[in-house]
Structure 1
Amino acid sequence: MTHQENATATPVNPPVLFVNRLLASLPGKDRRQILASCESVELHLAEVISEPGDRILHVYFPTDSFVSMLTPADDHAGLEVRLVGHEGMIGTPLILGVEVTLLRTLVQGAGSAWRMTPEQFAAALRQSSALQGVLNRYLFLLTNEVERMVACTRFHVLEARLARWLLMTQDRAHSDRFHITHEFLASILGVRRVGVTKAASALQQRQLIRYRRGDIEILDRARLIDAACGCYGAAEAMYERMLG
């Protein structure tokens, strides 16, 4: 997969110190202990963190980076089942004691993340009941998200699904602008390229986005939310209730 096939964030404001929301939700003592075991790393555009069946080598808590979690399919680049940024973590099977992943993990937006080894993560879980509680709730949210995604893919029109994906990407990119091709959008949404072209054109004609040669700018977030399926607001509201 080439660099141009992936979404990249384009800063539009002065740099901001971003945090990982899972870690930020912990009591100060627990958070400091966990961060003491982490190292700060940069995730690079199009970097593949893991492939299906790989042993999990690290846990990541993104801050201003974000990744796609893709499930493999025959003759298909993979359908996106999760978009993870500063609200989440990479390496969730380790919460349940599972050391391998079944998903392809691909960096969509370059940036920083906190990283720790599986051994350090296991020690942190043993030492912090607060971390265990937060991550148990996070796992519940992920389960709900996957269930909602199945229904969304089956019942919601492509234009609304595309609007939802653009909003989710904007949230994680911390930017109104990013780059992504029709080909990659079609891949992660599980549709033909012509369908994405029509849906993006419809959003552009309504002056919700500007789209030219893969460069996307969100022009009217409020109206784009109205254009998206209700899955967008529902998922975010549940996150706020349980982890906000």
Structure 2
Amino acid sequence: MVQPDQSSLRNQLLRALAPEDFALVGPYLEPVALPKGKVLIEPNQPIEYVYFAESGVASVVALNSDHRPVEIAIVGWEGLVGPSIVLGVDRTPHQSFFQMEGGGYRIATPHLIRALEASRTLHDLLLRYIYVVTVQTAATAMSNGDSVLSERLARWLLMCHDRVDGNELALTHEFLSLMLAVRRPGVTEAIHLLEGTGMIRARRSHITILDRERLEETAGDSYGVPEAEYERLIPNPEVSGGSHSRRDPREIE
């Protein structure tokens, strides 16, 4: 297996690793396609691989007794899928799947565990990322409890926008209703509200971000805290601070 060139990677966690830490995981990174709907982690099953996305967006969902998903976190090129392995836990009650197609790398769990055991700095970096995920999950709970649907939708669109190239999001109303845990008519109404004020353009299975600044104003306090914590705790050699810095650093001038 050919080790990827660290400097050419888009996944910010992999790029943030010290060279000696990347040498522990690089030889075991396998390129993988991540099509829409691909399940990466099944609930309560041993986690065989940890995934580092280079493009696309993954959802982490909790499933109720009727197997209806409620999204609790999203992951893109800024993170990894399978964080419980870093905590020494081999499975999770949650499901992870790709909601927007992309690609990336995976590493077999035993290889990552050995690397974590060999390097405190590697372990510490990934623990800081997991802390950010807990902040994101808490922000989602607060948004679901305190924000009106248009604010929640604005926050979710911003979070997806942070993790994709360009301004096009491949999203259906039905999928949005599942991820936001609301009925589809409510999502449609919220989309029409954001579209009517010129923040987005919606068409079948796609939403285009037109005015990110106004989306941020609409989302208000529900968006920004996890993003700021990520910027504070995860090194980025190419970007220092600034709004929207989770996007591909090579897109930001």
How high is the TM-score relative to the length of structure 2? Answer: 0.86
Q: 1:62 aligns with which of 53, 56, 59?
A: 53
Question: Over residues 105-150 of structure 1, what are the superposed CA-to-partner deviations in whole Å (9 max), with x where a residue is unaligned?
Answer: 1111222212111110111101222110101111211222222221
SS of corresponding position for 1:199: helix
Q: Structure 1 residues 229, 18: CA separation in 2 closer, same or farther (over 3 Å shift)?
A: farther
RMSD: 1.4
**TM-aligned CA deviation for residue 174 of structure 1:** 1.8
Query: Is the Cα–Cα contact under 8 Å of residues 60 and 95 in structure 2 kept in the other structure?
Result: yes
1:119 is the counterpart of 2:110: yes
* Match of residue 83 from structure 2: 92
1:105 is the counterpart of 2:96: yes
Structure 1, unaligned stretches of length 5 or more? 1-16
1:234 is the counterpart of 2:225: yes
What are the equivalent positions in structure 2 for 1:40-189 lying under 5 Å apart? 40-75=31-66, 77-189=68-180
Query: Is the Cα–Cα contact under 8 Å of residues 186 and 196 in structure 1 kept in the other structure?
Result: yes
Query: Is the Cα–Cα contact under 8 Å of residues 156 and 229 in structure 1 kept in the other structure?
Result: no
Question: Over residues 35-68 of structure 1, what are the superposed CA-to-partner deviations in whole Å (9 max), with x where a residue is unaligned?
Answer: 1121111111111122211110101111113210
The CA distance in 2 between the partners of 1:32 and 1:219, in whole Å, is 41
SS of corresponding position for 2:163: helix
Structure 2, unaligned stretches of length 5 or more? 1-7, 236-253
SS of corresponding position for 2:223: helix
* Match of residue 203 from structure 2: 212
* Match of residue 26 from structure 1: 17
The CA distance in 1 between the partners of 2:123 and 2:222, in whole Å, is 27
The CA distance in 1 between the partners of 2:78 and 2:65, in whole Å, is 31
How high is the TM-score relative to the length of structure 1? Answer: 0.89
Identity of aligned residues (%): 37
* Match of residue 11 from structure 1: none
More contact order relative to length (CA 8 Å, sep ≥ 6): 1
* Match of residue 13 from structure 1: none
The CA distance in 2 between the partners of 1:111 and 1:182, in whole Å, is 21
